[in-house]
């Protein structure tokens, strides 16, 4: 969704955690975790921080933003 | 694999209740004049159907939480339903006005006709809301 990518699936696998376990830790439904992992839903900032806290890593290790808008040509 | 969340099951339940109760009512109303008893009876039937269906869904579902994505999708549903309702009200008011000035609708039937038309608009708006939400869930918005 947009230019936001994430490593939730990889981090979850590294922590041997199921989607339901992660969902329970951050008060989301499993379906929302699935949507986040599939880059189809960008969570709120608060939820993004909660996910990073669960994995014990900084926010930018979990979510990355890439500006996909076309930059205007100079000259 | 994504199974249905509680919210989705609840939406399907609401849609089923709406269709079970309102389709026979509106099929009847097209061919016969409606009465206040019919309208009130239909609404009571819908409440009973909703209570039964939602209770079954609640009992059958372990995780019944609502999260930020559910709220966002509900907002999308309400937005579309609002546009549908406002459009239909404007269109319906125009039609009623046309029928009345042409003398096609007796003034003593106006109140009941209005009630039936507004009930129809509410039902369509509700269906627009539910379908919008279900599509959003399936498209994983």
- Nearest Cα of chain B lies from the Cα of A73 at a distance, in angstroms, of 33
What span, in angstroms and rounded, lies between the C-alpha atoms of A34 and B4? 12
- Four-way CATH pick for A4-57: 1.10.260.40, 1.10.10.10, 1.10.540.10, 3.90.1300.10: 1.10.260.40
Judge whether B47 and B53 are in contact, CB under 8 Å.
no
**B70 and A29: CB-CB below 8 Å?**
yes
What span, in angstroms and rounded, lies between the C-alpha atoms of A8 and A60? 11
Report ipTM for this prediction: 0.82
Give pLDDT, residue B22: 92
Each residue's pLDDT tens digit, A9-61: 999 999 999 999 999 999 999 999 999 999 889 999 999 999 999 999 999 99
Give pLDDT, residue A14: 95
Cβ contacts of residue B5 below 8 Å, gap of 6+? A29, A30, A31, B63, B70, B137
Judge whether B119 and B89 are in contact, CB under 8 Å.
no
Q: Return the domain boundaries, chain A.
A: 4-57
Q: Return the domain boundaries, chain B.
A: 6-138
Would you list which residues of chain B are within 8 Å, Cβ to Cβ, of chain A?
A: 2-3, 5-8, 63, 65, 67-70, 137, 139-141
Q: Give the residue on A whose Cα is nearest the Cα of B137.
A: A31
- pTM as predicted: 0.83
């Amino acid at each position: 969704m947009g230019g936001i990518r994430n490593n939730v699936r990889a981090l979850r696998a590294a922590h041997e955690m199921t989607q339901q376990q992660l969902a329970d830790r951050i008060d989301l439904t499993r379906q929302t975790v699935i949507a986040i992992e599939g880059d189809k839903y960008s969570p709120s900032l608060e939820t993004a921080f909660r996910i990073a806290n669960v994995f014990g890593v900084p926010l930018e290790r979990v979510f990355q933003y890439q500006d996909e808008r076309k930059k205007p040509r100079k000259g | 694999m994504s199974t249905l969340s509680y919210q989705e099951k609840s939406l399907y339940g609401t849609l089923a209740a709406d269709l079970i109760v309102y389709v026979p009512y509106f099929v009847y109303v097209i061919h016969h004049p409606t009465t206040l008893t019919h309208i009130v009876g239909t609404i009571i039937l819908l409440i009973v159907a909703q209570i039964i269906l939602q209770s079954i869904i609640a009992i059958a579902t372990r995780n019944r939480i609502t999260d930020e994505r559910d709220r966002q999708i509900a907002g999308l549903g309400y937005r579309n339903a609002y546009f549908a309702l406002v459009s239909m009200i404007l269109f319906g008011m125009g039609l009623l006005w046309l029928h009345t000035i042409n003398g096609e609708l007796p003034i003593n039937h106006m109140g009941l006709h209005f009630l039936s038309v507004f009930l129809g608009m509410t039902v369509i708006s509700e269906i627009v809301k539910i379908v919008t939400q279900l599509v959003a869930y399936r498209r994983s918005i």
